[in-house]
Amino acid sequence: MKKVKVAILGATGAVGREMMKILEERNFPVEELHLLASPRSVGQKVAFRGQELTVELACEEAFEGMDIVLGAAENDIAERFAPAIVKSGAVFVDNSSAFRLDPNVPLVVPEINPEDVKNHKGIISNPNCTTIISLVAVNALNTDSPIEAMVASSYQATSGAGAAGPVELMEQVDALREGRKPEVKVFQHQIAFNVIPQIGGEAYEGYTSEEMKLQNEGRKIMHLPELKVSCTCVRVPVVRSHSVSIVVRTKEKISVQRARELIANAPGCRLVDDLANKCYPMPLDTSDQDIVFVGRIREDLTSDNGLNIWCCGDQVRKGAATNAVQIAELLVK
């Protein structure tokens, strides 16, 4: 495997730091790694494979000579630097939502649509975290009979809001336990001992931007242009790993037994489904892992061809950083 020059754009955020860790863990063939960030992080020292790297300024010139740029920054930064990255000849594997629905940009979950990578024109988008976790869980069903619709309710961890999310949760918990008033900065409301049914702003007919992603990105990733999804995204006081309760309706009926077999054999999935022994996916068990856990598989009692499932996955890893590195692996193959 050839060695490649890699830059991480937004290297000091939660996803950027996880990308470094995963490049190291998966022994990605890095020839050179450049950590790019905004002026306030420039000069920070970060260890990578026993070497000390210095955070450099994210600027247009920084991408020259790179083969792959892993994007771990917000939409505005991704949009600002995308032209320079493409011009430099590097492939931009971007975790922001800026280009996900652009018809010229493949949107890839390597377990689902790896072949789409080859259609890139310089940019490949990494899907939304809840979308990746949900689709890895349900795609095995889709290979058996096309998915027509999903009703999903999410239980999203504070780490989905970046490194400051879990910090705010813990600060609020400590404040409340010590009788102080909790400060609200990152989330819309107090998240400690609460749940907040809003992630993102209003996007479509009362649905938030986060809620529309499972439908719109799901259509593109699974090549199901008619897919219908009703989603409710909820923040919960969990540190890490998102959970999703999904009713999946398929064209033809899939039995619970068959669904269990399909999911047990699906890439990136682990079947954890033994209610009698209290075994099912939980955020605590899936954190710091790349596998999506799937369980509580039952027939949907409201439709003829539906299944009820519960899945959990680490959204900083498989929901973001790992998925991006897997895309990079497809590029160097």
User: What residues are annotated to the active site?
Assistant: 129, 242
Q: Measured from the CB atom, is 79 or 300 closer to its own copies?
A: 300
Close Cβ partners of 32 (under 8 Å, ≥ 6 residues apart): 5, 6
Footprint (CB under 8 A) of its own copies, residues 217-236: 228-230, 232, 234, 236
At 5, the amino acid letter reads K
- What is the radius of gyration, based on Cα positions, of the chain? 20
Q: Measured from the CB atom, is 242 or 318 closer to its own copies?
A: 242
Q: Measured from the CB atom, is 47 or 284 closer to its own copies?
A: 284
Q: What are phi and psi of 39, to 5 degrees?
A: -50, -35
Options 39, 103, 179, 206; binder of its own copies; rule CB under 8 A: 206
Q: What is the DSSP string of 147-212?
A: EEEEEEEEEB-GGGG-THHHHHHHHHHHHHHTTPPPP-SSSSS--TT--B---S-EEETTEEHHHH
Encoded one letter per residue, x for contact with its own copies by CB under 8 A and - for no contact, window 120-159 reads: -----------------------------xxx-x-x----
Residue 319 in the binding site for its own copies (CB under 8 A)? no
- Closest distance to its own copies from the beta carbon of 98 (Å): 23
| Contacts by residues 19-28 (CB-CB < 8 Å, ≥ 24 positions apart) | 19/70, 19/72, 19/321, 19/324, 19/325, 20/46, 20/48, 21/321, 22/317, 22/321, 22/322, 22/325, 23/48, 23/325, 24/48, 24/49, 26/325, 26/329, 28/325, 28/328, 28/329, 28/332
Residue 1 in the binding site for its own copies (CB under 8 A)? no
In the block, which residue shows the tokens 């080859």?
118
At 161, the amino acid letter reads A
Residue 299 in the binding site for its own copies (CB under 8 A)? yes
Counting every residue, how long is the chain?
333
At 237, the amino acid letter reads P
Residue 195 in the binding site for its own copies (CB under 8 A)? yes
Options 86, 101, 224, 239; binder of its own copies; rule CB under 8 A: 239
Options 298, 329, 330, 331; binder of its own copies; rule CB under 8 A: 298
Residue 75 in the binding site for its own copies (CB under 8 A)? no
Encoded one letter per residue, x for contact with its own copies by CB under 8 A and - for no contact, window 258-287 reads: -----------------xx-x-xxxxx---
Binding site residues, its own copies, CB under 8 A: 149-151, 153, 155, 169-170, 173-174, 177, 188-190, 193-198, 201-202, 205-208, 215, 228-230, 232, 234, 236-239, 243, 245, 247, 249, 256, 275-276, 278, 280-284, 295-303, 306, 308, 310
